[in-house]
Structures are given as structure tokens and as C-alpha cells.
């Protein structure tokens, strides 16, 4: 008996998963520049929380981490 064929994930399936369940859409995530500056001591010495290089990165209140807005985890909670 031959194994079942493996279905490739279409690029639009990947985009759909990332857009809906990524940190940028999570209730625990904040990419507010002022919140970043107050939460990360010394950040202003490197420029500011408004810097373009950080893109939409932000803070996860659930895990206490700075991370990419495109990151995902099992504790995702949809923003209202």
C-alpha cells in the first residue's frame, strides 16, 4: 500500500493563517511606540519606539516579550 499524497499548503492558506492568528491581531499584543518606550528602559538611547526599523513589532503582555507582529503562539486571543 502506498502512502497518501502530501497536500502542499497553498500560499494563500499560509497568508490566511498568519493574518488571522498572528500577534498583531491578538488582545495581548501592543505595538504602541509610547508603550514600548516606557516598557523598555534605554530604548530612546537607540532612537525611539517610533523607529521604522521595528516595523510593527511590539510587546506581548501575556509573555512579557518583545516580538514580531507576525509571530504566533497557542495563547492567541482575538482582539475585539
- Residue 1 in domain: no
Q: What is the pLDDT of residue 62?
A: 92
Asked whether the whole model's pTM tops 0.75, one would answer no
- Residue 79 cell numbers, joined: 482582539
Could you read off the pLDDT of 59-69 as tens digits, one per residue?
999 998 988 99
Q: Looking at the domain assignment, is residue 33 inside a domain?
A: yes
Beta-strand ranges (E) seen in 1-80 are 29-30, 58-60, 65-67
Domain hosting residue 27, numbered range: 14-67
Q: How many CB atoms lie within 10 A of CB 15?
A: 10
How many structural domains are present in the chain? 1
- For residue 37, the model assigns a pLDDT of 82
In a domain, 18, yes or no: yes
- List, for the chain, all residue ranges whose pLDDT scores fall below the cut of 50: 5-18
**7 part of a folded domain:** no
Residue 3 lies in a domain: no
- Please state, in angstroms and rounded to a whole number, the distance separating the CA atoms of residues 32 and 59: 9
- Domain contains 48: yes
Amino acid at each position: 500500500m502506498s502512502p497518501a499524497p502530501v497536500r502542499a499548503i497553498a500560499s494563500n492558506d499560509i497568508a490566511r493563517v498568519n493574518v488571522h492568528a498572528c500577534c498583531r491581531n491578538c488582545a495581548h499584543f501592543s505595538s504602541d511606540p509610547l508603550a514600548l518606550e516606557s516598557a523598555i528602559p534605554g530604548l530612546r538611547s537607540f532612537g525611539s519606539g517610533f523607529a521604522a526599523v521595528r516595523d510593527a513589532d511590539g510587546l506581548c503582555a501575556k509573555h512579557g516579550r518583545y516580538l514580531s507582529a507576525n509571530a504566533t503562539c497557542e495563547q492567541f486571543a482575538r482582539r475585539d
